[in-house]
Chain A
Amino acid sequence: MSSSAAAAELAVQAKQIALAGDGYWRGVFRRLLRDKVTMFCAFVLLCMLLAILFAPLLAPHDPYQGSMIRRLRPIGTENYPLGTDELGRDILTRLLYGGRLSWFMGILPVVLAFVIGTTLGVIAGFVGGRVNMLIMRMTDVFYAFPSVLLAIAISGALGAGIANAILSLTIVFIPPIIRVAESVTTGVRNLDFVEAARASGASALTIVRVHVLGNVLGPIFIYATSLISVCMILASGLSFLGLGTRPPEPEWGLMLNTLRTAIYVQPWVAVLPGACIFVTSICFNLVSDGLRQAMDVKG
């Protein structure tokens, strides 16, 4: 390509960017809108979120009110479109209410781990030296446990309960976030503009706030969103083992556990809560993948 053609090409690109009034976020947003899979999954998640938020309005029955005479009805029963559980409670109602705890326990640990892990990781990456050594060697220890095992070990020792489950899941997700935060911060720390800011007399805090965080939060955030799917499966898994929520509280993992004995009577009713976990988890995974591509984060 001749130099004049290349220059013309560049000019066209520049014009396109200028015409679009392009900020970085606008570009991200435009790419997201074009990504059909991501938009579909985001739509499904939005519907689910609205459904569980407005569960009291949507649910046809009381989530705790059972009846011995209508136990384990099949899917399609009149008034009970998704059947009833082993205590005669409406499955649809309990799925709607159950989503609240499942989502809460799937998202909150990741948010907590994001805050704590990013703080520690950025400190480790920016300060370096001994502080880095100390923080990173500690994460190495937690890396020596398979994540499922660590979550079960901690909540198994602490005992059942929502708070303990959230605590143990947060501990599980902090080390991987620290690792990502540390590696991106180390990468940014040595870039020229940070050097320039330092040379112009900016304090460490200002450099971190203005120059480092702006550049590292994106990749860490993307990584954290990819953990939501895992966290949801693990959280429901803890409840499935009897370590998370306690009966009669509706939660997808716990419902799956209590319905397990019913697989010989109403097999398709019994597997419904798990299908909800699966759909949520796969949608979060695909949205996270879509975000990663739209924000052009590698890794």
Chain B
Amino acid sequence: MFYYLIRRVLYAIPIALAVGFVCFMLVQIAPGDPINAIVPPDAPADVVEQVKRDYGLDQPLAVQFGIWLMKVVQGDLGRSLATGRPVWADLSTAIANTLTLAAFASLIGFSAGVVLGGLAGTFRGSVIDRLAVSTAVAGVSVPHYWLGMVLVVIFSVQLNLLPAMGAGPGGSADWAWDWEHFQHLILPAVTLSVIPMGIVTRTVRGIVAEIMNQEFVVALRAKGLTGWGVFQHVVKNAAPNVLAVMGLQLGYLMGGSILVETVFSWPGTGLLLNSAIFQRDLPVLQGTILVLAMFFVALNLIVDLLQTALDPRIKRF
């Protein structure tokens, strides 16, 4: 067990390094010389050379990666080309906002998914099973950016119940825990919750149905255990796998919220990425993607460890 933990944590290190390398390469594959972003195109040649030396751009790629990595590890993601501010300054508030949105969306999606999937798995072939299966298929097939627009049309344009944009009154980017702000959270969170709801429903339904078919459930019933008692056993057996799927989904929500954030002008990482793409602000693009990907790597690690803790039979590797 202990060795498994050590090995799993150690395994995350090369993955994190490789993810860092991919993010580093993003700027390299971008068309155009990165030097053009720093100096004006009509700068004299010796100035260009000087700047190249200062930024380490005359070094081989591996050395450049090393220099970049050292800075990143120290928390220096570079400066935005558009605003000149450190990337981390804008990124930190954006991440907090995206986390709020993703956490709330997963809360909705996971609870709905577990309830629907659990009922469907227990009562296979019933009306509720069919309902759950259809919801799940619709949930994973819907373009969520479009669903967001439809919800805005219904709840903001037609019914005028909820705000269509931003994270707070007056378009403020700072989140606060009050009703005014909460209203802004509802539509984007519901929109974002649809995909994890579909996937969790599908997973829970499959796992619960499989467990209910196993002999130990029959044995429990034969022993005289009824509803609640059997339920506890099923939950215990389903938890590790369901948890794993949920962990991954939370990660996908963090990284995949860009489209929904664009629809609702939610001031998170997605909106930041969107504006970075339009202004060709590569440091912001690189920094945001690096942080989100690292978050995903960490989440994968936590899920694996948690799964092992819950179910000691799992010793993958």
Interface residues of A, Cβ cutoff 8 Å to B:
140-142, 144-149, 152-154, 156-159, 229, 233, 236-237, 240-243, 253, 256, 260, 263-264, 267-268, 270-271, 273-275, 277-278, 281-282, 284-286, 289
With CB as the reference atom, state the residue of chain A lying closest to B290.
A153
Closest 4 A/B residue pairs (Cβ): A274-B146, A146-B255, A149-B255, A148-B256
Main secondary structure of the interface of A (DSSP, over half): helix
Are B277 and A243 closer than 8 Å at their CB atoms? yes
Instruction: Known A-B contacts: A148-B252, A148-B256. Give 17 more (CB < 8 A).
Output: A140-B18, A141-B15, A141-B18, A141-B19, A144-B18, A146-B256, A148-B259, A149-B293, A152-B258, A158-B30, A267-B157, A271-B153, A273-B146, A278-B142, A278-B146, A284-B141, A285-B140
Tell me, rounded to whole Å, the shortest Cβ–Cβ distance linking B9 to chain A: 15
Tell me, rounded to whole Å, the shortest Cβ–Cβ distance linking A293 to chain B: 13
Q: What is the CA–CA distance of A264 and B263 in the complex, to the nearest angstrom? A: 14
Tell me, rounded to whole Å, the shortest Cβ–Cβ distance linking B29 to chain A: 6
Q: Which B residues lie within 8 Å of A253 (CB)?
A: 143
Are A145 and B256 closer than 8 Å at their CB atoms? no
> Among the listed B140, B256, B278, which residue makes an inter-chain contact with A149, where contact means beta carbons less than 8 Å apart?
B256
Tell me, rounded to whole Å, the shortest Cβ–Cβ distance linking B156 to chain A: 9
> Among the listed A241, A260, A285, which residue makes an inter-chain contact with B141, where contact means beta carbons less than 8 Å apart?
A285
Q: Which A residues lie within 8 Å of B289 (CB)?
A: 149, 153
> Among the listed B22, B138, B146, B274, which residue makes an inter-chain contact with A241, where contact means beta carbons less than 8 Å apart?
B274
Q: What is the CA–CA distance of A273 and B274 in the complex, to the nearest angstrom? A: 21
Are B252 and A263 closer than 8 Å at their CB atoms? no
> Among the listed B26, B27, B149, which residue makes an inter-chain contact with A270, where contact means beta carbons less than 8 Å apart?
B149
Q: What is the CA–CA distance of A278 and B150 in the complex, to the nearest angstrom? A: 12
Could you pull out 22 A-B pairs where Cβ atoms are within 8 angstroms? A141-B19, A142-B22, A144-B296, A145-B22, A145-B293, A146-B252, A148-B256, A148-B258, A148-B259, A156-B276, A159-B30, A240-B145, A240-B262, A256-B149, A260-B263, A270-B149, A271-B153, A274-B143, A274-B150, A277-B146, A285-B141, A286-B137
Are B149 and A145 closer than 8 Å at their CB atoms? no
Asked whether A153 and B285 contact (CB < 8 A) given A141-B18, A146-B255, A274-B143, the answer is: yes
Q: Which A residues lie within 8 Å of B282 (CB)?
A: 157
Q: What is the CA–CA distance of A253 and B277 in the complex, to the nearest angstrom? A: 17
Tell me, rounded to whole Å, the shortest Cβ–Cβ distance linking B101 to chain A: 15
Q: What is the CA–CA distance of A70 and B252 in the complex, to the nearest angstrom? A: 42
Task: Tell whether B152 is near chain A: CB-to-CB under 8 Å.
Answer: yes
Are B153 and A270 closer than 8 Å at their CB atoms? yes
Tell me, rounded to whole Å, the shortest Cβ–Cβ distance linking A179 to chain B: 14
Are A281 and B259 closer than 8 Å at their CB atoms? no
Task: Tell whether B251 is near chain A: CB-to-CB under 8 Å.
Answer: yes
Q: Which of B1-38 contact A (CB under 8 A)?
A: 15-16, 18-19, 22-23, 26-27, 29-31
Main secondary structure of the interface of B (DSSP, over half): helix
Q: What is the CA–CA distance of A233 and B195 in the complex, to the nearest angstrom? A: 12
With CB as the reference atom, state the residue of chain B lying closest to A264.
B157
Are B277 and A267 closer than 8 Å at their CB atoms? no
Q: What is the CA–CA distance of A243 and B256 in the complex, to the nearest angstrom? A: 15
Q: Which of B266-289 contact A (CB under 8 A)?
A: 273-274, 276-278, 280, 282, 285, 289
Q: Which B residues lie within 8 Å of A158 (CB)?
A: 29-31
> Among the listed A237, A284, A285, which residue makes an inter-chain contact with B143, where contact means beta carbons less than 8 Å apart?
A237
Are B15 and A275 closer than 8 Å at their CB atoms? no
Asked whether A149 and B153 contact (CB < 8 A) given A141-B15, A157-B285, A237-B259, the answer is: no
Q: Which A residues lie within 8 Å of B137 (CB)?
A: 282, 285-286, 289
Are B141 and A146 closer than 8 Å at their CB atoms? no
Q: Which A residues lie within 8 Å of B142 (CB)?
A: 278, 281-282
Q: What is the CA–CA distance of A201 and B41 in the complex, to the nearest angstrom? A: 65
With CB as the reference atom, state the residue of chain A lying closest to B252.
A146
Q: What is the CA–CA distance of A172 and B59 in the complex, to the nearest angstrom? A: 30
Tell me, rounded to whole Å, the shortest Cβ–Cβ distance linking B174 to chain A: 25
Q: Which B residues lie within 8 Å of A141 (CB)?
A: 15, 18-19, 22
Task: Tell whether B200 is near chain A: CB-to-CB under 8 Å.
Answer: no
Are A152 and B273 closer than 8 Å at their CB atoms? yes
Q: Which A residues lie within 8 Å of B278 (CB)?
A: 242
With CB as the reference atom, state the residue of chain B lying closest to A281.
B141
Task: Tell whether B93 is near chain A: CB-to-CB under 8 Å.
Answer: no
Tell me, rounded to whole Å, the shortest Cβ–Cβ distance linking A196 to chain B: 32
Are A263 and B153 closer than 8 Å at their CB atoms? yes
Q: Which A residues lie within 8 Å of B251 (CB)?
A: 146
Task: Tell whether B241 is near chain A: CB-to-CB under 8 Å.
Answer: no
> Among the listed B26, B30, B296, which residue makes an inter-chain contact with A146, where contact means beta carbons less than 8 Å apart?
B296
The interface bits of chain B over 28-65 (1 if a CB of A lies within 8 angstroms of the residue's CB, else 0) are 01110000000000000000000000000000000000
Q: Which B residues lie within 8 Å of A270 (CB)?
A: 149, 153
Q: What is the CA–CA distance of A3 and B147 in the complex, to the nearest angstrom? A: 59
Q: Which B residues lie within 8 Å of A233 (CB)?
A: 141, 143
> Among the listed A147, A156, A241, A278, which residue makes an inter-chain contact with B259, where contact means beta carbons less than 8 Å apart?
A241
Are B254 and A140 closer than 8 Å at their CB atoms? no
With CB as the reference atom, state the residue of chain A lying closest to B14.
A137
Asked whether A282 and B30 contact (CB < 8 A) given A149-B292, A263-B157, A274-B143, the answer is: no
Q: Which B residues lie within 8 Å of A278 (CB)?
A: 141-143, 146
Task: Tell whether B297 is near chain A: CB-to-CB under 8 Å.
Answer: yes
